[in-house]
């Protein structure tokens, strides 16, 4: 590892290549610094369009451009693949790991933008049967599960068997992601796929949107919430509010209603869109600074987004608890740009900026083709106008990535033609997550063999056994 004296320039390390990480790095393009982006994926991810990958509208590459390519012209930026496992505030270094290869990267300034993962509110075992929607892997798994459920139903119907549990889709969480997902699955079942099957009628599929809260889209206010609920019902989504999920298994889930009644819904396909938990890196930072973490694991920061006692460390985006800021892309982008300005300003001996102020540009959520809701300042919009705004805003923000422009052109064609061209699914998509989890360290040890205490034969035998169990239907499969 090179020491500071060998470096003429100020070293900035950015953790994460999401909205905060990428926009923070870009904002440093003219600064007299060397930026190293360390992230656990090779791509930037445009999360707002993940649901379109999950439902076959867009391909994964269209919403996840390689970070390296996006930053290729930014000569002061270096991209490193790695899962950050440690941050040493005293020695100003970040430890990252890729397939057993550890790397320590030193910094003079640090921007932590590691985002948030799915929260199952203490019931992590729900994730086995109800995947969340946070990553490309999640979206592809869901695509496999959704289209796979129709395929299995066709086979079982041809054998004269009951298919109701296969044609029932439950989305848990009536926030923007849940609403978009439920609306899209309903369109898929009731319109797009209606002529594709012979033994099942996809229009008979049930799509249920569940939430423990009493309204749909709470941040959008009661009026837009009620409008959205009515619109969803109209396109064939059953909205069940005040309903808390208490158990999830392979074939369905159990729900407790507000009056205490417990009931079961038979549904093979469940989507979890109900909660977020900030990156565990927040805990690592909290332990070294005494900064508080809230229930969602978000860390308290100073008004200038720095950590208490560490003006050289900025935390931005979904990881931050400050002034009730929402977990949205603009908070991460503006926060990261603020941090970049501060780092640049300090090097130019400028006075510190006033505390971070978030400029709320509004929120929006799509419900179906040509229908959305939006809030902009005091304005409340619904229907086609809101949908046009949604389209325009997405177009505006993603034009920085050339393949996303292609995605939008492609999108226009699919919207007009009501055709989904990204319906390819593989068994790997559906079963790999759980299989990898069960393989635990073994698969990773196979590729990072140096130093492994278990023989290659032992590791291969374990991998084969796990594959056999999955193939035999003992694990991970359902019908």
Ligand X SMILES: Cc1cc2nc3c(=O)[nH]c(=O)nc-3n(C[C@H](O)[C@H](O)[C@H](O)COP(=O)(O)OP(=O)(O)OC[C@H]3O[C@@H](n4cnc5c(N)ncnc54)[C@H](O)[C@@H]3O)c2cc1C
Contact footprint for ligand X (CB under 6 A)? 15-21, 38-41, 47-48, 50, 83-84, 113-115, 133-134, 176-177, 279, 281, 317-318, 327-330, 332
CB of 318 to ligand X, least distance (A): 4
- Which is closer to ligand X, CB of 184 or CB of 414? 184
User: Distances in Å between the alpha carbon of 319 and those of 42, 264, 295, 469?
Assistant: 20, 35, 12, 38
- Which is closer to ligand X, CB of 48 or CB of 65? 48
- Which position's Cβ is nearest ligand X? 18
Among the listed residues 68, 50, 69, the one whose alpha carbon sits nearest the alpha carbon of residue 59: 50
Which residue reads 């003006």 in tokens?
311
Q: State the Cα–Cα distance between residues 188 and 61, nearest whole angstrom.
A: 22
CB of 421 to ligand X, least distance (A): 21
- Which is closer to ligand X, CB of 131 or CB of 476? 131
Which residue reads 């050289």 in tokens?
312
Do the strands 310-315 and 109-112 form a parallel or antiparallel pair, or are they unpaired?
parallel
CB of 11 to ligand X, least distance (A): 17
With b meaning 16 or more CB within 10 Å and e meaning fewer, what string describes 468-478? eebeeeeebbb
Q: State the Cα–Cα distance between residues 135 and 44, nearest whole angstrom.
A: 10
Q: Where in the sequence numbering do the catalytic residues fall?
A: 180
CB of 407 to ligand X, least distance (A): 15
- Which is closer to ligand X, CB of 117 or CB of 383? 117
Q: How large is the C-alpha radius of gyration of the chain?
A: 23
354: exposed, middle or buried (C-beta count within 10 Å: 0-12, 13-18, 19+)? Answer: exposed
CB of 383 to ligand X, least distance (A): 18
CB of 84 to ligand X, least distance (A): 3
- Which is closer to ligand X, CB of 256 or CB of 289? 289
CB of 107 to ligand X, least distance (A): 14
- Which is closer to ligand X, CB of 338 or CB of 470? 338
Q: State the Cα–Cα distance between residues 294 and 400, nearest whole angstrom.
A: 34
- Which is closer to ligand X, CB of 111 or CB of 166? 111
CB of 255 to ligand X, least distance (A): 23
Among the listed residues 418, 428, 427, 458, the one whose alpha carbon sits nearest the alpha carbon of residue 442: 458
- At residue 96's C-alpha, the angle toward residues 276 and 312, to 5°, is 80
Q: State the Cα–Cα distance between residues 85 and 323, nearest whole angstrom.
A: 28
Work out whether the CA dihedral 296, 119, 255, 51 comes out positive or negative. Answer: positive
Among the listed residues 129, 82, 137, the one whose alpha carbon sits nearest the alpha carbon of residue 104: 82
Contact call for residues 106 and 89 (beta carbons, < 8 A): no
Q: State the Cα–Cα distance between residues 179 and 174, nearest whole angstrom.
A: 6
- Which is closer to ligand X, CB of 80 or CB of 469? 80
Q: Among the residues of 276-383, which ranges form H helices?
A: 281-289, 329-347
Q: Please state the length of the chain.
A: 479
């Amino acid at each position: 590892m090179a020491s500071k004296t060998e470096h003429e320039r100020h070293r900035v390390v950015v953790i994460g290549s999401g909205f905060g990480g990428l926009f923070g790095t870009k904002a440093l393009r003219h600064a007299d610094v060397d930026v190293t982006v360390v992230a656990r994926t090779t791509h930037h991810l445009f999360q707002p369009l993940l649901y379109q990958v999950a439902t076959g509208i867009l391909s994964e590459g269209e919403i996840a451009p390689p970070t390296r390519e996006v930053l290729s012209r930014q000569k002061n930026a270096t991209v490193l693949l790695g899962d950050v496992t440690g941050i040493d505030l005293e020695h100003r270094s970040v430890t990252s790991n890729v397939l057993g290869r550890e790397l320590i990267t030193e910094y003079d300034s640090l921007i932590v933008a590691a985002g948030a993962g799915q929260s199952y509110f203490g019931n992590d075992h729900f994730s086995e049967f109800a995947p969340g929607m946070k990553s490309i892997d999640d979206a592809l798994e869901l695509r496999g599960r959704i289209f796979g459920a129709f395929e299995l139903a066709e086979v079982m119907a041809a054998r004269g068997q009951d298919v109701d549990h296969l044609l029932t889709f439950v989305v848990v969480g009536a926030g923007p992601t849940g609403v978009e997902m439920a609306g899209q699955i309903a369109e898929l079942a009731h319109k797009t796929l209606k002529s594709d099957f012979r033994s099942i009628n996809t229009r008979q599929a049930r799509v249920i949107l569940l939430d423990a809260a009493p309204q749909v889209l709470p941040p959008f206010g009661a009026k837009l919430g009620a409008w959205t609920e009515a619109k969803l019902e109209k396109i064939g989504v059953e909205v069940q509010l005040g309903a808390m999920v208490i158990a999830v298994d392979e074939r369905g889930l159990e729900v407790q209603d507000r009056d205490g009644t417990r009931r079961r819904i038979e549904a093979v396909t469940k989507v979890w869109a109900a909660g977020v938990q900030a990156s565990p890196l927040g805990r690592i930072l909290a332990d070294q600074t005494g900064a508080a973490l809230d229930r969602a694991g978000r860390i308290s920061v100073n008004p200038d987004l720095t950590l208490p006692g560490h003006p050289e460390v900025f935390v931005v985006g979904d990881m931050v608890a400050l002034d009730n800021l929402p977990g949205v892309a603009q908070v991460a982008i503006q926060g990261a740009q603020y941090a970049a300005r501060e780092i640049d300003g300090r090097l130019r001996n400028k006075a510190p900026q006033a505390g971070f102020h978030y400029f709320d540009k509004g929120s929006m959520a799509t419900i179906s083709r040509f229908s959305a809701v939006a809030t902009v300042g005091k304005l409340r919009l619904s229907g086609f106008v809101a949908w046009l705004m949604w389209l325009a805003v997405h177009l505006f923000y993603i034009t920085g990535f050339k393949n996303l422009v292609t995605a939008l052109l492609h999108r226009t064609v699919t919207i007009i033609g009501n055709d989904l061209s990204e319906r390819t699914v593989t068994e790997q998509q559906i079963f790999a997550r759980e299989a990898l989890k069960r393989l635990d360290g073994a698969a990773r040890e196979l590729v990072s063999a140096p130093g492994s205490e278990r023989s290659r034969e032992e590791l291969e035998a374990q991998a084969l056994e796990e594959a056999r169990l999955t193939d035999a239907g003992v694990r991970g499969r359902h019908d």
